[in-house]
Amino acid sequence: VMNLRLVMENSMKYGVLICIRCHDYRRHDIYLSTLLYLLVPCHLFVAYIIELGAAQHAKGALSCIKRSDSTPTEDPLPDSRSFQATWYTIAWAHGINATFCLLVTTYTVYYHIHHPLIGTICQIHAIIVWLKSCSYAFTNRDLRHAYLLPQTPSSLPEIYSQCPYPRNVTISNLAYFWWAPTLVYQPVYPRSPSIRWLFVAKRIAESLGLSMFIWLASAQYAAPVLRNSLDKLQTMDIASILERVMKLSTISLIIWLAGFFAIFQSVLNALAELMHFGDREFYTDWWNSPSVGNYWRTWNKPVYHFMRRHIYSPLVGRGYSSGFASTMVFVFSGFLHELLVGVPTHNILGVAFLGMMVQLPMIAITAPLEKVKGVNGKVIGNSIFWISFCLVGQPLAALLYFFAWQGKYGSVSRAKI
Return left, alpha or beta for 346; rule: phi > 0 is left, psi -120 to 50 is alpha, else beta.
left
Asked if residue 147 lies in contact with residue 56, where contact means CB atoms within 8 angstroms, the answer is: no
What gap in Å lies between CA 104 and CA 127, rounded to an integer? 11
User: Residue 53: which of 86, 4, 12 has the closest Cα?
Assistant: 86
What gap in Å lies between CA 233 and CA 405, rounded to an integer? 13
Cβ contacts of 210-213, under 8 Å, gap ≥ 24: 210/258, 210/259, 210/261, 210/262, 210/266, 211/262, 213/258
- Alpha-carbon dihedral sign for residues 350, 355, 357, 361: positive
Return left, alpha or beta for 152; rule: phi > 0 is left, psi -120 to 50 is alpha, else beta.
beta
What gap in Å lies between CA 97 and CA 130, rounded to an integer? 9
- Residue 122: its pLDDT value, please? 93
* Full-model pTM: 0.88
Residue by residue, what is the 3-state secondary structure of 13-35?
Answer: HHCCCCCHHHECCCHHHHHHHHH
- Residue 416: its pLDDT value, please? 39
Distance (Å) of CA 299 to CA 6, 106, 154, 290, 410: 29, 26, 31, 13, 35
Active-site annotation holds for 337: yes
Buried/exposed code over 4-37 (b: 16+ C-beta within 10 A; e: otherwise): eeeeeebeeeeeebeeeeeeeeeeebeebbeebe
Could you state, in chain order, the average pLDDT of each consecutive group of 10 residues for the chain (417 residues)?
62 65 76 92 93 87 67 50 75 91 92 90 94 93 84 72 88 94 94 93 95 87 78 76 79 89 94 93 92 92 95 93 93 93 89 90 89 82 86 76 76 41
Catalytic annotation, pick one of 94, 115, 337, 346:
337
Asked if residue 167 lies in contact with residue 58, where contact means CB atoms within 8 angstroms, the answer is: no
In this structure, the number of other CB atoms found within 10 A of the CB of residue 153 comes to: 6
